[in-house]
Every structure is written in C-alpha cells, then in structure tokens.
Structure 1
Amino acid sequence: MANETVAERARQFLAEATQFRLGKLLTESPHPRSAQLSQRASENIAAGLEVLFDVDRDVLETYRQWAQSDAPERIRDEALAALRAGGRLYFTGCGATGRLSIQLDSIWRDFWQRRRAAGLTGADEWEDRTFSIMAGGDFALIKSVEGFEDYTQFGRRQIRDRGVRAGDVVFAITEGGETSFVIGTAWEGLDAGARVFFVYNNPDDVLRENVERSREVIDEPSITKINLTTGPMAITGSTRMQATSIQLCVMMTILEMVLGALTGGHSQAADVPGATLRALEEMHATLASEALRDDLARLVAREESVYRARHRNTYFSDRLGIDVLTDTTERSPTFCVPSFRKFDDPDAAESWSFLFLPPYETAAAWEHLLKRPLAPVEWSLEQVCEMLPPGEAERQHAIMRGISREEILRFRIGLDGLPYRTIGPGDAATAILTEEEKEALFTPGGFYRKRLEQAHAGGAATAVLFFGRPGAIEEVRAFLSAWEVPALPVLVPVPETELLLNLPLRVGAKMLLNALSTCTMVRLGRVLGNVMIWVVPSNLKLIDRSTRYIANLTGLSYEEACYLLFEAMEYVGPRWHAGKEYPAPVGLSVMRARHGLTFPEAEKRLYEELGIEPPRA
C-alpha cells in the first residue's frame, strides 16, 4: 500500500482489497450463543466462562462427524505411505494456524526425542520428517509480522525455501480458508509434486461465492479438502478459538494414528478417533463444570485486577510452554495489548504477560520450546523485489529486517531474562504444569517451586494451574495446602487414555487458556457483546474487520468507516511502530464519530469509559 496520504491509503484499500472483504464468511459472523458475553461476564465471571465453554461444544460436534467418517484412516494411510517412501510432512499456516503448525512440529519432534532418551528406536529415522511453515517464520510465534499473510508469493517462497518436493505431504491450514499466504503454500506444494491437503473452517459454497482465491483451491481436484466448519467463533472473528481448536484436534489425531502405526503403539483394531472423541467429551465436561469454572474465575479476577492496576503477570511453564506462548502472543492482535518486550528495549511498552522456561540461556530455551533450531525468515531485498513491486518491496523488507534470529533472541524467555522483568508487589506469577512435572513443584529448588517462592518473597500473588489425573491432583492439593506460599490453585483433571500424544491435555489446555485470556479481556472492556472492538488492524483482513466493526457501531457507511479507521491508524502509528502501548483504532474511531471529538479527546474518553488508567508515557 503506497505510503502517501492517509486518504490515499484508504482509497487504495477500498479499490484494491475487495477480495479481503470477508464479512459474509461464517467465521466472521457473531455467534448467537455468545451475543451477551460481555454483559454476562461483567456480572459474573463464572457465567462468562460458561458461555465460552458452551461454544466449544461446536468443536466436539464437528470432531464427531469427522471421526465417524472414513477421512482419518484415508489421511493416515497417505501420510504413512509418504513417510515410508522417504517423504516429509509440512504443516503451513499464518497467525493462529501458523502457531499451530509450529506446535504440531514440536509435538512430533518431542515424541521422538523422548523415545531416544528412553533408549527406544526410530528417532534417527523419523524425528526430522516434519516441518512448520509459518507466515513470518519463528518470529511470528511471539509477535505477529505485519502484512506477511497477505502475499500468496510469500507462502510459495517460504515453503520452497524449506525444500518441499515430490513425495512430501503438505497440510495447508487456514482458519477461514481464505489466507493468501497459506493458499500460496498449497499451490507451491502442488507444483512441486507433493500431496496437498487444504484444512479450513468455512462452508465451501460461502467461500466459493465470496473469495476467488479460495474458490480456485476448492475447485482444484488435485488438492484434498478437509473442511472442519464449526460455525461462528465465541468472539466474532476470533479464529484462534474454535476454528483452531478443531484443527488441533484433527491434526493431532492424524499424527497420533501415524505414530501408532510407525511404533506399534496401537493395536491394528484400535479406534483412535473414537477413543479421542470420548476423551475430548470428558475433558470438555470437566472444563464446563461448575467447580472448574469457579476455580478459573478466581484466576480471571486475579489477572484482571493485576492489569487494571497496571501491574504485570508472568507465567512459568515447560511441557506446555508452546501452548502458553501461543495464547499470550494471540492476546496482542486480538485485544491490542503489548506484545512481549525485547530485553534491551526499555522504550517499548512493558508486556502485560510474559513466559519463562527452565533453561537459563535464551538460545537454549528457544530450542527447548521448539524442539529444533530457530528457523527465521531472512530474505534479502533482492529476493523480496522478485516477489513485490518497487516501494512495496522496500517497505516489506524493512519489516523483515526485524524478524531475524538475532531479533528473536532479544525475547529472553530463558531464565537469563528474569533480571529484565522483576516480579514485585502488585504483580502475579503463575506456574502452568502437567502431572509429569509435579516434582519440579514439590522439590526444593525445583523450577516451579523456586520461581513461585521468589515471586512470593518479592510481594507478588501466585497461582498454580495444574493438569493431571485425579491421584496427582490430590498430591498437588495436599502440597499446596501445606506450602508457605499461598498459591491460588486451578487443578484440572485430565482423562486417562492410552493415546501416545495425550491429545485431551493439549486441547484442554488450549480451551482453558483461551477462556482465561478472553474472559479477562472481556472484563477489561476489550469486547462488546461478542465483538473484539480492540482488534489490531495489522493486515488486510483485519483492516476489513475493523472497518466493519466501526460501521456497525456508528452507523457510518463502510467507506466512511474505512477513512476514519485509517485516520486513527495514523494517529496511533508512531506508538504502534515503536512498540509502545496505544489505544485501539476501532475504539478511537467510535468515540470520535459518536461524540464529535478530536483523537486526543477520543483517547481520553475511551479510557474513562473503560475505567482504567491510560498507559504511562
């Protein structure tokens, strides 16, 4: 988009981005069962959580339909045949599905690394057979890369750089079925001779009618479609929720079946999809239970109070580190809160939440998280110019200079980052762990125990979010009741299964973390009804979404709302690009249109109506 005047940029979007007007898609529609979410959550936190977990029932219904079809076995057989013939599995995505692709790769690699550590065979042959292709590379796991998902050619180049070839299998995963980057990976995989599966969450007829690039993929007979439509999201357009949850369920089931066949971990008669469905139903019933919602509501209230007082929340995790990091990253574009801050950038806004892992050095922590070396996108200007016209190429390359390996390592998620994020009075620290890590909580000097004891000594509030079987939960409950640290407990029972990858744990953790962060942000005024009015318009799809929200909330036409949005983006732009905290362009635009205010006046009124202090200068 040409960088001339605000009005010209708005006109250019209106003229050239018609294929990014996505308001007719089901994933962009409001869910009727969550229409009163903000009202219910403001009155009672547990009631708000009930709404969120109720919409997650849609995930189970779609999974049931898929599990009872012949698709799981067909896909397993194709993936197995490719692997046994020397092929690789590629998972591609952007935004939430990009983070899902990295998670799937890490889950596969972790399985083989643990087998190697146990003295079992197979790791040397199979560990390096998966690759994740995320728009913007590994940097985007921790912070969205502006505009990257808008380019089909970027998807083509990124997967080509990772060596896709004939005999491989590509799972191109897109929440809405319309993401240009992911569609590019699908076409490049097909051109290279790979077997391509297109995984998406909107009805075919709606996509075919409204999005040309989607219609071309759906109509291509050489690409196998995996349609996982669940319906609207609990938060309108927030596909990090149910859309990505069903994709996690299905893709992990495929990996489970493949690994079972490669290792003999399941009997030939095992009904993996059926067993998974039963475990998911049990996991969801636990999350939706009154007891769990009451416990989680106390953690929501804790985090809300911390953020309202302009203090900070810090998570400590290991086995679920990538799950936690995914959720914290997605809070930034969804709710316009500061993303993780680089350790040596004191001028950037302090991150509301942060994550630390057990390794001391950050470089080791990143590899521990990913189960592989970092894989950044590092293209030269010449390479970008091969894909984009002049001007646009220079602008996009300037963004890419900030997503290198060196830039990723400035996010100090190892314990060497602790001195740069002291935890003190008014702050909170939460340990998020699984049953197999409980000794790190029980043992003096253990990772979780030491971190929470230090946080408590510094004056911070503490909590333990624990996932495990009933016996382990009772052990943790007994320990916490006798511990001198008054940690708020959220103890989550996980179904007992023989599944190799413990899919119910990963899906349950995702749904719970989504509900925790979403309900907290609803309480902070980031959501109106079920509309994410603090969305960050960082790509063409989100500019369209923001424009529609402004139009709906003010009565302006789409075109008038678009011009107003671009003016608001210009107003917050210096703070946005400097990594400082800034008000939501949608909220600013609504305040200005409703009350005839200047942008500074609109900003002041926005924070007053939310009842929170404006960001510190």
Structure 2
Amino acid sequence: MKFDKLDTERSNPKSMNLDELSTYEMLRIMNEEDATVPLSVREVLEEIASAVELCVESLQSGGRIVYAGAGTSGRLGVLDAAEVVPTFGVSKELFVTLMAGGQEALANPVEHAEDSVELGEQEAEKVAISGRDAVIGISASGRTPYVEGILRHARKQGARTIIICNVGNPRLAELADVTIAVRTGPEVVTGSTRLKAGTAQKMVLNMISTITMVRVGRVFGNYMIGVKILNRKLVDRATRIISEISDLSYEESAKILDASGREVPLAILMALTGLGKGQCEESLKRNRGHVRSALKELGGVK
C-alpha cells in the first residue's frame, strides 16, 4: 500500500501556509482541528463498547489486557497502562505493554523497530499471550508490521484482538475481532500522527481502561475505590469517600476504614450494610471484589 493514500499521511489544506501565519493563527488552526477529535471518537462508540466487553471477559477469565504499538502509539499504551495501576489499585501485571524498540523507545526514537513482523511475534511470545488475554494493537496507519506480528501471534493463541487506528479500512482489521477506526484526517503538520491521531488514541484508551475497571468493580458510583492508601492524603480521601457514600460522619468513616484494614471496598460495604468485617469480606470474595454485587447479596443498604 502506498503511504500517500493513507488519511494520516495526506496534507491538510487548512494548514498549507502554516509557516507564514502568526503564532496566534497557527494555534487557532491547531485548536480548531483538535476540536474535531471528540466528534470522531463519538462515531465509534459502539466499537469501543465492544472492545470493553472483550476486555471485561478477559479479566473475568483471569486474563490480561495487552497494549501493542510503535512510536507515539506505543508510548500512549505505556502511559495508559502505567496510570491504571495507581488509579484503580490493580496489579501492574494486569496491563501489559509491548512497544517496538522496548524501554529505550520511550524516550528515544527507534523507528526501524516498527517494520518487523517477526519482532512483534517474538515479543508476543515472550509475554506468553494466551487465549484468556485481550490484545489491543494501536497503529495510526492501521498497518504497522510490528503490531501485525503481535496480533498474528495473539490470534494463533486464541486471544481476543482489537485494533485502534485512524484510517478507514485498515489492513490489520483482518486480524481483529473489533476494529476502532477513529478517522481524524490529515494532520496540521503533514504526517505528524502525535497530533490529532495521538489525541484520539489517548481518548479511546482512557475510555477502554476506565470503563473496563468500572465494569469489574474498581469504581463505586463515580468514586475510585481501588486506590491504595500509601500516605496521609490518601487516608483522608478514602475516609471522605466512605463518608460521602454512606452518609456517615467523617469520624465514623475513619473508624470503619481502620477496622477494614484500610481496604476501601471492604470499608464501604461494612459502612453501607452495618455488618462485620468477616461477613463482608466473604461476600466480596464471592463477588470478585465487586462492591455493588456484594451489596445486593447482603441485602442492600442498612
């Protein structure tokens, strides 16, 4: 395929004379182009929802979510995976990242690494992708060979596969159970997919990881209940969360948090039901840590 046929590689007519404009005009054009990204994402919400379902199925079956990409796409996968851990209090083993060029490519360009299908297959083998995993390939062009190798290996292992791209009819769609094609169009600086394409990818990754975590019970209402309490600020935040959810005083909530062993989901269940730690703990185990399901099992709010 010729690269000049890709939407992400075409010249943007709105910025043809970019270098002749004032700083303000350059920024205005960028801002107007960026404003189109959320609308493009809105067009593929059904596909994003399908991707979330696959991710939830994987986690519930004991699998992982694997992000794979090169360049900006790979770095965005690494960023999202890193942020999920402290936000939702999950194991860092739950979100795995594969990036062309490895750790060195996070800060330094290793552009040639993305051209190898074989390298992708080899790295997929190293992390032992299985049929329980969900593998998300991120590729603005929808054709990156490194991502292709990973998706090919994942398919052979029976894993669920997803592709996030920024072109219509991506070549890698044949390897994906779900294709999320966010058509962001030509960039303000021709071919610089760290701009609109990268912004769209970040938005989609935010959606997938966040809503997947909500679905598996790491959020109650709109509160981050999986947060690990590592300092005084987080003790205060956890106490306030319990208080706001249960309508108990700050002082009562602090006592329940201590009684739970500073486990926020457990403390919330204790506060809402009025039951002891042991009974609530057993219910949470039966319900895979999902507070809402455990609450229903224990008869709801006291």
Q: How high is the TM-score relative to the length of structure 1? A: 0.35
Which residue number corresponds to residue 335 of structure 1? none
| 4+ residue runs over 3 A deviation | none
Residue 275 of structure 2 is matched in structure 1 by: none
Structure 1 Cα separation of the partners of residues 48 and 27 of structure 2: 32
Match of 1:323? none
**Larger Cα-atom Rg:** 1
Task: Tell me the amino acid that sits aligned with residue 91 of structure 1.
Answer: Y
Q: Name the structure 1 match of 2:56.
A: 80
1:280-299 aligned at under 5 Å gives the runs none
The secondary structure found in structure 1 opposite 2:93 is helix
Q: In the TM superposition, what is the alpha-carbon distance from 1:174 to its structure 2 partner?
A: 0.3
Looking at structure 2, the residues matched to 36 and 149 of structure 1 have their Cα atoms a distance apart, in angstroms, of 31
- CA RMSD in angstroms, aligned pairs only: 1.9
Equivalent in the alignment of 1:152: 117
Instruction: Describe how 1:211-360 pairs up with structure 2 within 5 A.
Output: 214=171, 217-220=172-175, 223-263=177-217, 265-267=219-221
Alpha-carbon distance in structure 1 between the residues aligned to 2:111 and 2:37: 29
| C-alpha contact (below 8 Å) 1:34/1:55 kept by paired residues | no
Change (3 A) 1:264 1:102: closer
Equivalent residue for 1:128?
93
- State the one-letter code of the partner of 1:76: V
Aligned residues: 223
For 2:105 and 2:218, how far apart are their aligned partners in 1? 36
**SS of residue in 2 equivalent to 1:232:** coil
Alpha-carbon distance in 1 for matches of 2:122, 2:72 = 20
Is residue 2:35 matched to residue 1:57? Answer: yes
Distance 1:219 1:259 in 2: 28
Superposed CA deviations along residues 166-225 of structure 1, whole A, max 9, x for unmatched, are 110000110111111111111111111110001111111xx5xxxxxx2xx3345x6321
| CA deviation after TM superposition for structure 1 residue 77, in Å | 2.0
Q: TM-score, normalised by structure 2?
A: 0.69
Counterpart position of 2:254: none
Task: Answer whether contact 1:91 1:104 (CA < 8 A) is retained.
Answer: no
Q: CA deviation at 1:39?
A: 1.0
Where does residue 174 of structure 1 map in the other structure?
Answer: 139
Equivalence map 1:332-481=2 (5 Å) = none
The residue type equivalent to 2:183 in the other structure is: T
The residue aligned with 1:139 is 104
One-letter amino acid matched to 1:86: G
CA distance in 2 between counterparts of 1:233 and 1:189 reads 31
For the residues of structure 1 that align with 2:122 and 2:83, how far apart are their CA atoms?
25
Residue in structure 1 matching 2:85, options 109, 134, 146: 109
Question: Sequence identity, in percent?
Answer: 25
How far apart, in 1, do the equivalents of 2:80 and 2:64 lie?
13
> What is the match of residue 153 of structure 2?
188
Q: 1: CA distance between counterparts of 2:52 and 2:111?
A: 35
Distance in 2 separating the partners of 1:198 and 1:128: 21
Match of 1:279 in 2: none
Superimposed CA distance per residue, residues 80-138 of structure 1 (whole angstroms, 9 cap, x where no aligned partner): 121011000000000110111111111112324xx4xxxxxxx4xx4421111000111
Are the equivalent residues in 2 in contact too, given 1:58–1:231 (CA < 8 A)?
A: no
Q: Which amino acid aligns with 1:182?
A: V
Contact 1:201 1:227 in 2 (8 A): yes
| CA displacement, residues 424-462 of structure 1 (integer Å, 9 cap, x when unaligned) | xxxxxxxxxxxx9xxxxxxxxxxxxxxxxxxxxxxxxxx
Q: SS at the partner of 1:160?
A: helix
The answer as to 2:69 corresponding to 1:93 is yes
Task: Kindly provide the CA deviation profile for residues 237-256 of structure 1, in whole angstroms up to 9, marking residues without a partner as x.
Answer: 11111111101101111111
- For 2:20, which of 29, 32, 39 is the aligned residue? 39
Partner Cα separation in structure 1 for residue 218 and residue 96 of structure 2: 23
